[in-house]
Structure 1
Amino acid sequence: MNGNWLIRARDGRLGVYVTHDDEVRCRSERGPGSDTWSPWRRIGGEQRLQPGLAVGQGVDDYAHLVSWRPTKAAEAGLVHSTHFRVHLAPLDWTPLGHPDRTGARTGLPAVAVDAEGRAHVFVRNRGNGVHALVQKERGGWNAWTDLKGSDVHEQLAAVTGESGRVELYATNPTGILRWAQEEAGAPPVPDDPLPVRVEPGTLSALPTSKEHVTLFFADPEGMLHAWRRGTEPVPLLAAAGPGPVALLRCTLEGHDCTLLAQRSASGRVAFAACPTEQESAGLWWTESGPQLPVGTEVALAEDADGRVVAATITPDGVLRIARQKDEPGLALAAWQEV
């Protein structure tokens, strides 16, 4: 999956999205802050899907989902759905087409939602560049736009900054590529690339101030870095495990902090935190919970009461939740299977 699959919806309920076989499933809290959850249910109608789900959420707290569906033999197309309330049915999947008009699946999509509530869909194209599709403010979609780029790896990281503008990050063999919106409703335009050694598939991005988005990535040796445009990447600590870290900006003991989480090499969930945009203060991993199988995904959110919530989903669909206790620091209650 791409994006944060654990979200807090408009009414305060937490919801999760997973892919299962050829469909997307969703669960939600029975009520805001509840310890009981609804059963898994298929969303978006009866449309069969291919692997790869992207989740984005706007300031209106609506969730935008993007995935691939099979079309003709050996061909596929992207589809989109909007979920207004996590405990209710979302809209059916709407076809978006293909960045190359026709062809097979080209990469894992990414989606971000701007300040006006428009979804921006990004995906690698057949030539290993990037295409974008922007939703119209009053419904429908604009035409696909070629953002260029070369030798782009599959994983893309799309994020909306506090300014309401959308940014996109990708990697290729020479470093990190960045695109950023210059005006509302327009596709992002390319920025100067960052020549840096980066492990593909490790990007995650978080708005950390009105001016900046912070990008986290690992290098080929497994060292985790933080980077903001106009600065040099800062090495942080060895990544706890493979893939991107889950991120959350939250308040801990009255301080604006950035929280990181990742399945560690031991199989447990590892947490690290630092003051936001002050990574030089130092980070270290603290492990929590049971050992989880390879392929388990980790996500972070805040619940309706402002408590940090961590979630894990195993490849066979077991969902576990750990919620912050009313104690100093990041003290989590015991992990619960829900």
Structure 2
Amino acid sequence: MNGDWLIRGRDGRLSVYLTSDDGVLCRAEHLPGGSWDAPRTLGGDQKVHPGAAVGQGADGYAHLAAWRPTVKGEAGLVHCTHFRPLLAALDWAPVGHPNKKGDRTGTPAVAVDAQGRAHVFARNIGTGLCMVAQKEKGGWDPWRDLKGQGVEGPPVAVTGESGLVQAYAAVSGGILHWRQAAAGAQPVLQEPLRTPVRPRTLRALATSAEHTTLFYTDESGDVCAWRPGGDPVRVLPAAGDGPVAAIRTELDGHDCTLLAQRSASGRVAFAAYPTERESAGAWWAESGPQLPEDAVVALAKDHEGRVVAAALSPSTGDLRLTRRKDEPGLALTAWRTV
């Protein structure tokens, strides 16, 4: 899944989203903090391709986007809304294709603005970025060409504390950034960042009222943080491959950013530092058992506001969880399989 696939619903239950060969599955807590139900297929009987995206609004609703097959050699994007983890999601509804028709163009990304409108981003055939957004009173606006060229790997989308939507994408030797100036406006391509970025390592997080921070791994293997308008800052060497998971949380009375990643040793590595103060330094500390090579890591907060880390292996479906203890620092409970 592209996006934060571990989320807390508005009823306090945690849920995870994962893809299967022909659908999107959801697992959820039966009760907040309790046991987990078996996976359920979302979106009705329609089959969708692997490589979906998820985003969550301030109302707690999850919005998902995926490609579904249409005619031979072609596909279209579909969207569904999941209001509560234990309820059935709405059926997949078509939202079109960034080039009107054609085959899949790459994994989409989803962000939800302050009005609860989903924004679906997807690369187009010309390797630029396009977006389609929900109307406030139902239905969808036309697809919009956001320009840009040479997008590599999935874009990432994020909603700032202002409720406005932004998107980022890797290109050869740099990062493209699109930003909304007002609610409902088309995101506009900003000045690109020239940096040796590794595609498929991007993760964005709202870190203050003014900024979102993009985390990425550069060609030297360092995790870097970039806030548009400034220069990128090296945070620490990457613990492993792929994007880091990131969340803001309070640690010992300080607003901190917590990062997590499957390390090269196979365990989950954690690092924390004061939010937007990368110069303070950060160090990895590993936790838990060795995980399969395809395992991915996510972070969220539970019904009590405690940080929860999840590790999911798409090939096996194994889901492991740990939670922060009610102790100083980042003490975690023993990992358990659910």
Tell whether 2:306 aligns with 1:298. no
For the residue of structure 1 that corresponds to 2:279, the secondary structure is helix
Aligned-partner residue type, residue 314 of structure 1: S
Contact 1:134 1:187 in 2 (8 A): no
- Deviation of 1:274 after TM superposition, in Å, equals 0.3
- Deviation of 1:174 after TM superposition, in Å, equals 3.1
Aligned-partner residue type, residue 284 of structure 2: W
Tell whether 2:183 aligns with 1:189. no
Provide Cα deviations, 1:22-44, integer angstroms capped at 9, x if missing partner: 1111111111222x111111111
Alpha-carbon distance between aligned partners in 1 of 2:281 and 2:195, rounded to the nearest angstrom: 22
Tell whether 2:323 aligns with 1:323. yes
- Deviation of 1:229 after TM superposition, in Å, equals 1.4
Specify the alignment match of 1:44 in structure 2: 43
Alpha-carbon distance between aligned partners in 2 of 1:167 and 1:62, rounded to the nearest angstrom: 19
Alpha-carbon distance between aligned partners in 1 of 2:198 and 2:27, rounded to the nearest angstrom: 32
- Deviation of 1:295 after TM superposition, in Å, equals 1.2
Contact 1:216 1:226 in 2 (8 A): yes
For the residue of structure 2 that corresponds to 1:148, the secondary structure is coil
- Deviation of 1:182 after TM superposition, in Å, equals 0.9
Alpha-carbon distance between aligned partners in 1 of 2:146 and 2:173, rounded to the nearest angstrom: 18
| Amino-acid identity (%) | 63
Specify the alignment match of 1:231 in structure 2: 230
For the residue of structure 1 that corresponds to 2:298, the secondary structure is strand
Specify the alignment match of 2:62 in structure 1: 63
Specify the alignment match of 2:10 in structure 1: 10
Specify the alignment match of 1:308 in structure 2: 307
Contact 1:299 1:310 in 2 (8 A): yes
Alpha-carbon distance between aligned partners in 2 of 1:207 and 1:56, rounded to the nearest angstrom: 13
- Deviation of 1:326 after TM superposition, in Å, equals 1.4
- Deviation of 1:238 after TM superposition, in Å, equals 0.7
Moved over 4 A (4+): none
Tell whether 2:104 aligns with 1:105. yes
Alpha-carbon distance between aligned partners in 2 of 1:39 and 1:337, rounded to the nearest angstrom: 13
Provide Cα deviations, 1:198-252, integer angstroms capped at 9, x if missing partner: 1111110100000000111111121111111121111111101111100111111
Aligned-partner residue type, residue 157 of structure 2: A
Contact 1:124 1:154 in 2 (8 A): no
- Deviation of 1:154 after TM superposition, in Å, equals 2.3
Provide Cα deviations, 1:257-310, integer angstroms capped at 9, x if missing partner: 000000010110000000101111110000111111111111000001011100
Alpha-carbon distance between aligned partners in 2 of 1:120 and 1:226, rounded to the nearest angstrom: 24
Aligned-partner residue type, residue 12 of structure 1: G
Alpha-carbon distance between aligned partners in 2 of 1:159 and 1:294, rounded to the nearest angstrom: 27
Specify the alignment match of 1:337 in structure 2: 337
Alpha-carbon distance between aligned partners in 2 of 1:321 and 1:139, rounded to the nearest angstrom: 37
Aligned-partner residue type, residue 86 of structure 1: P
Provide Cα deviations, 1:150-197, integer angstroms capped at 9, x if missing partner: 111121110000000000001111311000001111220011101111
Specify the alignment match of 1:180 in structure 2: 179
Alpha-carbon distance between aligned partners in 1 of 2:133 and 2:310, rounded to the nearest angstrom: 30
Aligned-partner residue type, residue 208 of structure 1: T
Gaps of 5+ in 2: none
What pairs up with 1:193-272 in 2 under 5 angstroms? 193-272=192-271
For the residue of structure 2 that corresponds to 1:280, the secondary structure is helix
Alpha-carbon distance between aligned partners in 2 of 1:73 and 1:265, rounded to the nearest angstrom: 40
Contact 1:10 1:61 in 2 (8 A): yes
Aligned-partner residue type, residue 296 of structure 1: A
Specify the alignment match of 2:80 in structure 1: 81
Contact 1:322 1:336 in 2 (8 A): yes
Contact 1:25 1:42 in 2 (8 A): yes
Alpha-carbon distance between aligned partners in 1 of 2:119 and 2:165, rounded to the nearest angstrom: 8
Count of matched residue pairs: 337
Aligned-partner residue type, residue 257 of structure 2: T
RMSD after superposition: 0.7
Aligned-partner residue type, residue 14 of structure 1: L
TM-score, with length taken from structure 1? 0.99
